[in-house]
Amino acid sequence: MLKTPQHHITYPARTNIAKNTSNQFRTMAESIDDNIDNLHSQVTDIDTTTATDTKKWQDETASFTATSGNLQDIGLATLIRDVGSETRGALYGRSCLFIGDSYTEGLRASSSSRRWSTLLAKAMGWNEYNFASGGSGFSLPGLEGRTFLDQAKYAREQKLEPDVIIVAGGRNDGKADVIGRAQELFDYLHNSWPSAKVVTIPIMWDCTAVTTDALARADEIRSAAYNTGVYVVWDAWTWLYGHPEWAYDLGGGVLDMHPNDNGYLTISRYAQQALLGGQTTITLAKQLLPARNFSQPTTASVLINHGMVHIEGQFNSPSPVYTGWDFTTIPAPARPASDRYVLGYTAYGATPLLIKVSASDGVCLINNIYGSAGKGVGMPDICWPVAQ
């Protein structure tokens, strides 16, 4: 007798047909009976295998889809970071017109490639058009006889088509009210280049404290910008504050009002952060204030957050404090623009103090004691804007 290969059904061979026919059919019937009992489990095994394979294929498809999405994200991120890519150009523009004063012109930089505008243009992937001129402003013509508006008109005469326009300056305008001039300039830029993004950076400054006149001009420029839909980059006068190492050295310890190469690099980095939606104010991570004249700082600390200086904490002392005792020094970027007088306490809060914070060297000393002197000095949270 022969058997089928799949279910092993017995059937007679050609040579057996004539012999023992009854026995052959009986054997065939019994073979079918035996295999019918196993058929359900075989079908079940096939179904299980099929379901397992289907789940595997589904998982592989989902994995491929996720991987494909990740690859797309990675590819897009790479194109955005790639300075020369069409994707980055479409997102941030391909060219920028710079209007401004000697800072934007790059005075005192070792070469034009080291000025902040050129560094920023390189980082953003822009072609740079720089028409800035030393001594100029919203109201002043500067060394080349062009106000900021005149610079814009000159650029228009050159038939330039920038994607971004940055107006940086206002320091030279002094006490002149510039809100009208600024608004006139911003309107001209919008009308001349309606598809361009217009940005203003009011009052770039050196490592010294900004003047009240300059801050007044900054407020006027900001008001004009808000009236005309111009994007404002704020706090530029704090970017170099307290860092004399970023000022151009004229020799003999005399510092120029203009930055050196490192100062221009710092400006370019802050400007880039601003354009990419990052922070424009300087920061200083929280750090303990140093000991001075046998003071023992325990919790006294300083930090700069969102353009505000914060000082607080406790100093211990080996003996009762006294008027004139200087007990710590504040780091340069956190020092006020002018001497500040703030309230503190001694004798663990029992006696109030008046503390002087020196603008020139950051030394903190006890100016007055209002009651019985005790040990230690405490300062509640004392704060002021950077460079003010």
> Residue 357 class from Cβ within 10 Å (0-12 exposed, 13-18 middle, 19+ buried)?
buried
CB atoms within 10 A of CB 58: 10
Tokens at 147, concatenated:
């106000």
Which residues have a Cβ under 8 Å from the Cβ of 248 and sit 6 or more positions away? 108, 255, 256, 258, 259, 260, 263
Q: Would you state the structure tokens that stand for residue 10, as one six-digit string? A: 């017995």
Fold of the domain spanning 88-275: Rossmann fold (3.40.50)
Q: Residue 363 belongs to what H/E stretch?
A: strand 363-369
Pairing mode of beta strands 127-130, 95-100? parallel
Supply φ then ψ for residue 162, to 5 degrees. Answer: -75, 150
Return d(Cα 130, Cα 113) in angstroms, integer: 12
Task: Quote the CA–CA distance of 181 and 378 in Å, as a whole number.
Answer: 49
Task: Report how far residue 353's alpha carbon sits from residue 378's, in angstroms, rounded to the nearest whole number.
Answer: 9
Q: What integer pLDDT is reported at residue 77 of this predicted model?
A: 46
Instruction: Report, as ranges of residue numbers, the positions in the chain whose pLDDT lies below 50.
Output: 76-77, 79-80
Residues facing 246 on adjacent strands: none
- Predicted TM-score (pTM) of the model is 0.76
Q: 285-385 is classed in which CATH architecture?
A: Sandwich (2.60)
Stated as kind and residue range, the H or E segment containing 319 is strand 308-320
- pLDDT for the residue 19: 57
Q: Are 304 and 155 in contact (CB under 8 A)?
A: no
* Two tokens, residue 80: 């955005």
Dihedral pair phi/psi, residue 204, rounded to 5°: -75, 145
Residue 238 φ/ψ, nearest 5 degrees: -100, -10
- Predicted confidence (pLDDT) per residue in 112-139, tens digit: 999 999 999 999 999 999 999 999 999 9
Q: Which pLDDT does position 1 carry in this prediction? A: 64
